[in-house]
Amino acid sequence: MSLEIIGVVTQVQTIAVGSSIRERPRLERVYGPGRWRKRKGVARVRLGLGKTVLAEVHWYEASGIGRREYKIKRVLGG
């Protein structure tokens, strides 16, 4: 499912840092080394068919690399 973040992500929290991230070896192989963090927040997203919903999203980010691999964890409302 493709998704597009509309506006800003709010209520941002860090849920894992460094070696606590299970996907870190793959992230470093694909995007390069960095201080990787797994984060979550709430954002309005546009789904593949054009429907817009409020959802909890998770992603990985590292300084100098940016945010990567957004995924919807929970739809909060329409």
pLDDT at residue 1 is higher than 70: no
| CB distance 56 to 10 below 8 Å | no
Measured CA to CA in angstroms, residue 5 lies from 14, 23, 34, 47 at distances of: 18, 22, 24, 9
Nearest of 46, 43, 48 to residue 1 by alpha carbon: 48
Q: Where are the domains of the chain?
A: 3-77
Provide the pLDDT confidence category of residue 50 given band limits of 50, 70 and 90: confident
Nearest of 77, 72, 5, 9 to residue 41 by alpha carbon: 9
What would the pLDDT profile of 12-36 be if each residue is shown by its tens digit?
999 999 889 999 999 999 999 999 9
**What confidence score (pLDDT) does residue 70 get?**
93
pLDDT at residue 67 is higher than 70: yes
